Structure 1
Amino acid sequence: MEFGDDLTKHPNMPLPNSPNNSGHQWLDLANNPILASQLIYDHEELQNRVDQNYQQFNHEQKTVYDTVMESVNSGNSWMFFIHSAGGCGKTYLCNKIAAAVRAQGYIALCVASSEIAALLFEGGRTAHSCFKITIPVHEDSIAGITQ
């Protein structure tokens, strides 16, 4: 899959507005507690936090924030990957972007690959929990984490 690719070209990928393998409608807010929970934020309070924190961003953070918010405000469905060394403010930036998106009444799902990383995001969840990704575990399963 490449940037700008269309999900309809990939038959094994569930579409956001159609039933996936479990018959779940992602956009059916009444039956989707993950999405419904994203709509209960105080928009005014979030916008005040965003306005205060924007002034604290460094140049790179402002550039990333502005680019992401331009995508949101123009209705584009872009995917962003933010990568840099540890301690550069990625989590801080992601939390502020999510707050800005939520302040506008949109849904921002903050997902991470591990529970520890997910705890750092406001409203964060693991990807496998949020999207019901099956992780097969067997008696001889091991984690292949290397340094």
Structure 2
Amino acid sequence: ARARLRKFREDHRRPAWCLLESRLVHRLVDAGFVQVTTPTIMAGGNLQRMGIDKSHPLFSQVFWLDDGKCLRPMLAPHLYYVLKDLLRIWEHPVRIFEVGSCFRKESKGSQHSSEFTMLNVVEMGLPVGSRRERLQMVTDMVMVEAGITDYRLESTSSV
């Protein structure tokens, strides 16, 4: 353990996650995306607008605070709130992303944590015919930076 800590201090100096986050941020910014940051605490109404109510499985995983507020279980609600305004004033396509902490009461175990970091990348205003190809390109960018080579995209219906 001492040797590992010494190597960390002398060689790495930053946790692996921080190095990955920096690479992802630089790659996405270089590709024309704008990084945004949104609040960690959100109003419960933001979840309801996304269809997450008491009958939704995610609802029971939310960390609720006082006055109907909660710790964000995902980045999307605030990100789409920002996007709504940007779509009105920026030239299309609008490209934004956020890297941030999210919180969920998930099952305990070595693969689950109540706090985790999420990346959400949004690109709006592309022609319909080019969306699938662009999704593959952006996914490839992220996966290359993460060092992941064995993956595939799958299409499913959300309805």
TM-score, with length taken from structure 1: 0.29
Q: Which entry has the higher C-alpha Rg, 1 or 2?
A: 2
Q: Where is the strand percentage greater, Structure 1 or Structure 2?
A: 2
Higher relative contact order (CA 8 A, sep 6+): 2
